[in-house]
Structure 1
Amino acid sequence: MTSKVALFLAHAVALETEAGERYDELADVMDVHNNPEVATMFRQMAEFSRMHAAQVTARAAEFGPLPKLKSWEYRWNAPEPPEVGDFQGTHYLMTPFHALQFALANERRGWEFYNNSAKEATDPEVRRLGAEFAEEEAEHVETLESWLERTPRPDRDWAEDPDPAQVVD
């Protein structure tokens, strides 16, 4: 039988790993649309997610092998992990300000997941780890809020494309 701690850690690894994969996908999209500044930001966010996934994986080693869950076995409040932002929250002309807002929303959902895990867990180790991971996510939120404060807000017409695609399907 899988322990509650191993199950929690499997969720934490998936949360961070899939967030990194989504940021890589978004960076690729931004590269295709010649938005290198935002592509670079998303690649940096992907790297941060991979680093956090590696830290969680290293911590999980002391609890033995983690279960390999099927996609439908994860217990998220949405179809995807909390830190995996929805593509609908992006635009090919988005600015660094928008990219930081997107990442901030993801980190806040990550904090909420870990915080709720800490509050709702019956296992003391899951409560402890959840609280610890929530604290780390709170630091990420504070960092992104600080970056956002120093990032110029886009002009009102930021989404207007002076050279829109002329392709008709």
Structure 2
Amino acid sequence: MANVTFSSPRMGKDVTVYAIAGDRGTVLAVAKQHKIPIPFDCQDGECGSCLVEVTHLNPTTTYGKYGIALTEKEKEMLKQLGKITKEEIVNAEVNDMPPRHRLACQCFVRNEDILVTFEGDETLPVQTPHISHAAKRFTGGIEIGSLSEFLGYAVKVEEDAALHFDGLADQMAACGNSEVAALFRQLAGFSRLHLAEAQARAGTLDHDVVVPPDYVWPDHATPERTSLLAGDPALTRLDGLRAALQGERRGYEFYLSVAAKSQDEDIIAMAKLFVREEAEHVKVLEAWITREEWAANHPEPEPASAS
């Protein structure tokens, strides 16, 4: 069982699909099934048109030879395209380390979550990510004038997200919803990791001076706050993940809007780093949601009772 996320500048947004591992389905077969526009021609590893970049999203996965085996056709075509090195070939054959680039028609989906990136048809225009009207107003009308001020905003976003998820976890535990409480504890932990990264980038920044107060944000709430305000014993993991995804998307749009609106090259460069990181957070949550939705729609059958 695997979540496969497809990403391309020719697509308006990334698409995550659920694939059943072990059915000999290739990445290209999964893409065609879900109308993902990966270019292809021969479908036999001889033309190189379906070149993709594969990122393994679970670093703890143990990759077996069966999962990453390179066919001779694929190996030869990747060498011709200049997309594989001698070291990568050795790592794949000896150390079971997957190479960065693959041919979608030769790469089989296994029991691991992956991100498949491709350039797509160069004749099609690049589709930029959608920025909502709300994203343009996240700064509360205050123009971010310096890199330190931007980093102050970033620290506030991640700090508030961690506190918010911790609060939701406490509320869920208080009303007896231990499963969703555990989920929010996990999400709070992720937010604290993001906060540590933002604080590291901010260095010796005086947070008390540049971290913006609540009132500069629309509705007095930072973008990664979810719409959940109180504990609900009926809330499911899927509900919680969907709310968290909404917050992550708003955070992504905030950083994207800063990168698009700022005139300062240092702010633009730093904002783009946060855009890439938030995009990864969104992909992970979308993958979790896809898995939860599949499990909800395919419940395990009740064991037969002994007669």
Report the TM range for the smaller structure's normalisation: 0.7 to 0.9
Find 1:106's aligned residue among 238, 247, 253: 247
- Verify the 8 A CA contact 1:89 1:102 in the aligned structure 2: no
Count of aligned positions:
152
- Verify the 8 A CA contact 1:95 1:154 in the aligned structure 2: no
Find 1:51's aligned residue among 164, 175, 193: 193
Is 2:174 the partner of 1:32?
yes
Percent identity, aligned pairs only, is 36
Q: CA RMSD in A?
A: 2.3
Aligned counterpart, 1:83: 224
- Verify the 8 A CA contact 1:115 1:134 in the aligned structure 2: yes
Query: Which whole-Å deviations, capped at 9, do the CAs of 1:95-114 have from their partners, x for residues lacking one?
Result: 01001101100100000000
> Between Structure 1 and Structure 2, which shows a larger proportion of helix residues?
1
Aligned counterpart, 1:19: 161
Q: Displacement of 1:91 after TM fit?
A: 3.3
| Distance (Å, rounded) in 2 between the aligned partners of 1:45 and 1:20 | 8
Unaligned runs of 5+ in 2: 1-143, 298-307
> Structure 1 segments of 4 or more deviating over 6 A?
none
- Verify the 8 A CA contact 2:248 2:281 in the aligned structure 1: yes
| Distance (Å, rounded) in 2 between the aligned partners of 1:140 and 1:72 | 24
Is 2:282 the partner of 1:141?
yes
- Verify the 8 A CA contact 2:168 2:229 in the aligned structure 1: no
| Distance (Å, rounded) in 2 between the aligned partners of 1:30 and 1:65 | 34
- Verify the 8 A CA contact 1:15 1:83 in the aligned structure 2: yes
Q: Displacement of 1:59 after TM fit?
A: 0.8
Query: Which whole-Å deviations, capped at 9, do the CAs of 1:10-48 have from their partners, x for residues lacking one?
Result: 010000001100100100010011111100000111111
Aligned counterpart, 2:269: 128
Q: Which amino acid aligns with 2:285?
A: L
| Distance (Å, rounded) in 2 between the aligned partners of 1:65 and 1:36 | 38
Greater CA drift, 79-88 or 22-31: 79-88
Provide closer, same or farther for how the CA distance between residues 89 and 108 of structure 1 changes in structure 2, counting only shifts above 3 A.
farther
Q: Which amino acid aligns with 1:38?
A: V
Q: Which amino acid aligns with 1:56?
A: A
Q: Displacement of 1:93 after TM fit?
A: 1.3
Unaligned runs of 5+ in 1: 156-169
- Verify the 8 A CA contact 1:97 1:154 in the aligned structure 2: no
| Distance (Å, rounded) in 1 between the aligned partners of 2:214 and 2:169 | 27
Provide closer, same or farther for how the CA distance between residues 72 and 60 of structure 1 changes in structure 2, counting only shifts above 3 A.
same
| Distance (Å, rounded) in 2 between the aligned partners of 1:5 and 1:70 | 14
Greater relative contact order, per chain length (Cα 8 Å cut-off, separation 6+): 1
Q: Could you tell me the TM-score, scaled by structure 2's length? A: 0.46
Q: Could you tell me the TM-score, scaled by structure 1's length? A: 0.81
Provide closer, same or farther for how the CA distance between residues 124 and 68 of structure 1 changes in structure 2, counting only shifts above 3 A.
closer
